[in-house]
């Protein structure tokens, strides 16, 4: 049996002529001071050297055998400290400010994550992974084994990646935000993905893999290669709750409504999926207006919209989610809407959706209006009638329309209700279509006599992507009409895509004006 401390062995002293230094710094080159460590030599595994780093982040051990040594940094102090250290702006080792300085001074340079040098796993609050592994980027090995180096008699400068995560950059404001429009558009696309963490671009892969890998920016949303606008936060302030909801999952399959919601320390984002399946198309076509007032026994009594009417198909697709449940620590299970209501407290709320998803997002915004939602929708159909739209006028909503997309044009801006819905629904739909299409004076007279103010209207401020063609004035003249075909290509060259927005905040308007002047 050997002696645990080789320095106590008289015959060993002639071999103990080796030393090693480690310097621990962050991505800005600032040292990690008073960081507890352990160091073990392969030659004397029973002897553990320990201490803390000095004011320069340096630790030095002498009287070592010429064998590889393994450094172990205390996991919890390391994680707590590196959460507070900022990332450098440009990712990748090639952008390091530490590496050229270290190499110029003759030191060995290494870039590491906390999981590569820690002595175990720290407590990571609210980290829940379907594979029961720690964050893969920060902890490449689920069971950290320290950091081994060889040869000795030199200094190793370890640049440590901060223990951070990405969150979406979102502005909770009444004025239009281009960043919001972009990021919430990507989240509307993400709602079309599934929930399998192993599928790149899925909801869980995006939040539990891409958004916790700070070596690079998030790169895939559903099937699209796209990078959202993000900022880094301490790992404990990341999206700690991510739920993917599918009404067709489990044994009690019903309808076809999907959404996801993700909550960080400060924000919560909810995204509803749009039209994909036959069930969704049937939902879109079920345009019968249903009264919302609790004063009418035959009405829905929604409890969060008290006037006007709602599109039946959209209402049923939305209400379906109220019957679904998610796991809960306190009650084992809770309804989706109850879970969202609990999570959103003291957070900034952002809601989005495309097509059918935009309609469902509007209804959800109405349900959560006391939490001041910031709603951005894309290509959404009309959902509510006049009185309901007026009641919800205080909700922040920017509604995006792409050129002449037909979806925002339906249901038509008319009173689509009629008495036949009370007796036989198919007759109600037939009569509604007949009123729209029939040129008969009698039908049109009945239409005018029975019309009410409860016509379908859009909610929110419109943002329009509009394609404009500029035509030279000389082509307008009738005598030049024969030349129009010949210069068609020139006309097309003058096609412009306009991004028409209702307003910007004053600071952004000023920035745009200055940019225009410079051009």
Domain boundaries, the chain: 6-162, 167-417+452-512
Query: Coil, strand, or helix at residue 125?
Result: coil
Q: Given pLDDT bands bounded at 50, 70 and 90, which one contains residue 486?
A: low
Query: Can you point out the beta strands (E) in 185-319?
Result: 220-221, 224-225, 230-234, 241-246, 258-263, 267-272, 289-291, 309-311
Element spanning 110, H or E? strand 108-112
Provide the pLDDT for residue 504: 75
Query: How is residue 251 written in tokens?
Result: 């044994």
Bigger pLDDT: 448 vs 349: 349
Provide the pLDDT for residue 453: 85
Query: Can you point out the beta strands (E) in 188-266?
Result: 220-221, 224-225, 230-234, 241-246, 258-263
Provide the pLDDT for residue 308: 96
Residue 166: is its pLDDT beyond 60? yes
Q: How buried is 405 (Cβ within 10 angstroms: 0-12 exposed, 13-18 middle, 19+ buried)?
A: middle
The CA distance from 70 to 42, in Å, is 8
Q: Are 219 and 243 in contact (CB under 8 A)?
A: no
Query: How is residue 446 written in tokens?
Result: 């009945």
Q: Please compute the mean of the pLDDT values over residues 246-262 and round it to a whole number.
A: 90
Residue 99: beta bridge partners?
A: none
**Structure-token match 């345009």, residue found:** 287
Q: Please compute the mean of the pLDDT values over residues 440-464 and round it to a whole number.
A: 78
Provide the pLDDT for residue 478: 53
Angle at 117 between CA 114 and CA 121, to 5 degrees: 65
Provide the pLDDT for residue 3: 46
Element spanning 402, H or E? strand 396-402
Could you give the percent of the chain with pLDDT greater than 90?
A: 70
Could you give the percent of the chain with pLDDT greater than 70?
A: 86
The CA distance from 360 to 368, in Å, is 12
Residue 20: beta bridge partners?
A: 61
- The mean predicted confidence, pLDDT, of the chain is 89
Residue 507: is its pLDDT beyond 90? no
6-162 belongs to which CATH class?
mainly beta
Provide the pLDDT for residue 2: 39
Provide the pLDDT for residue 295: 80
Q: Are 355 and 380 in contact (CB under 8 A)?
A: yes
Q: Given pLDDT bands bounded at 50, 70 and 90, which one contains residue 174?
A: very high
**Structure-token match 């079920």, residue found:** 286
Residue 283: is its pLDDT beyond 80? yes
Q: Are 455 and 413 in contact (CB under 8 A)?
A: yes
Q: Please compute the mean of the pLDDT values over residues 398-419 and round it to a whole number.
A: 89
The CA distance from 39 to 344, in Å, is 46
The CA distance from 46 to 44, in Å, is 5
Q: Please compute the mean of the pLDDT values over residues 183-193 and round it to a whole number.
A: 98
Report pLDDT digits (tens) over 349-407: 999 999 999 999 999 999 999 999 999 999 999 999 999 999 999 999 999 999 989 99
Q: What pTM was computed for the model? A: 0.89
CATH topology of domain 167-417+452-512: Rossmann fold (3.40.50)
Residue 288: closest CA among 160, 46, 454, 137: 454
Q: Are 371 and 302 in contact (CB under 8 A)?
A: no
**Structure-token match 């909550």, residue found:** 263
Provide the pLDDT for residue 13: 61
């Amino acid at each position: 049996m050997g002696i645990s401390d080789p320095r106590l062995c008289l015959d060993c002293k002639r071999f103990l002529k080796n030393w090693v230094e480690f310097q621990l710094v962050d991505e800005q080159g600032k040292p990690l001071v008073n960081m507890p460590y352990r160091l073990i030599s392969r030659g004397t595994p029973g002897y553990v050297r320990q201490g803390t780093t000095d004011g320069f982040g340096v630790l030095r051990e002498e009287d070592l055998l010429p064998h590889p040594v393994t450094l172990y940094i205390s996991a919890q102090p390391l994680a707590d400290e590196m959460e507070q250290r900022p990332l450098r702006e440009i990712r990748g080792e090639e952008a390091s400010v530490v590496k050229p300085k270290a190499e110029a001074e003759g030191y060995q340079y290494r870039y590491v994550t906390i999981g590569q040098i820690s002595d175990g796993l720290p407590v990571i609050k609210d980290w829940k992974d379907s594979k029961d592994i720690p964050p893969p980027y920060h902890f490449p090995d689920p069971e950290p084994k320290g950091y081994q180096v060889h040869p000795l008699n030199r200094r190793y400068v370890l640049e440590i990646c901060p223990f951070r995560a990405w969150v979406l950059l979102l502005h909770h404001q009444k004025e239009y935000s281009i960043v919001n429009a972009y990021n919430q558009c990507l989240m509307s696309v993400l709602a079309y993905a599934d929930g399998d963490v192993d599928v790149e671009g899925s909801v869980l892969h995006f939040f539990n893999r891409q958004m916790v890998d700070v070596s690079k920016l998030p790169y895939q949303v559903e099937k699209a290669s796209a990078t959202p606008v993000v900022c880094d936060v301490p790992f404990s302030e990341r999206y700690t709750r991510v739920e993917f909801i599918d009404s067709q999952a489990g044994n009690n399959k019903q309808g076809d409504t999907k959404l996801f919601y993700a909550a960080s320390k400060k924000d919560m984002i909810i995204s509803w999926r749009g039209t994909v399946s036959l069930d969704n198309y049937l939902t879109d076509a079920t345009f019968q207006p249903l009264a919302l007032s609790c004063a009418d026994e035959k009405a829905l009594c929604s409890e969060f919209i008290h006037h006007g009417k709602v599109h039946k198909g959209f209402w049923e697709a939305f209400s379906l989610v109220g019957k679904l449940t998610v796991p809960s620590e306190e009650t084992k299970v809770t309804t989706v809407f109850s879970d969202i209501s609990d999570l959103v407290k003291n957070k900034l709320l952002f809601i989005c959706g495309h097509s059918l998803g935009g309609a469902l997002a509007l209804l959800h915004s109405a349900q959560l209006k006391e939490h001041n939602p910031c709603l951005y929708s894309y290509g959404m159909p009309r959902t509510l009638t006049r009185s309901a739209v007026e009641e919800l006028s205080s909700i922040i909503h920017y509604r995006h329309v792409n050129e002449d997309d037909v979806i925002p044009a339906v249901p038509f801006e008319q009173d689509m209700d009629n008495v036949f819905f009370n007796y036989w629904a198919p007759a109600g739909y037939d009569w509604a279509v007949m009123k729209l299409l029939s040129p008969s004076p009698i039908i049109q007279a009945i239409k005018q006599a029975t019309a009410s103010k409860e016509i379908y209207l859009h909610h929110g401020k419109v943002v329009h992507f509009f394609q404009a063609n500029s035509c030279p004035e000389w082509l307008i003249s009738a005598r030049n009409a024969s030349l129009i075909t010949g210069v068609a290509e020139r006309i097309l060259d003058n096609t412009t895509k306009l991004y028409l927005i209702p307003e910007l905040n004053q600071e952004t308007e000023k920035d745009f004006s200055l940019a225009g002047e410079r051009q």
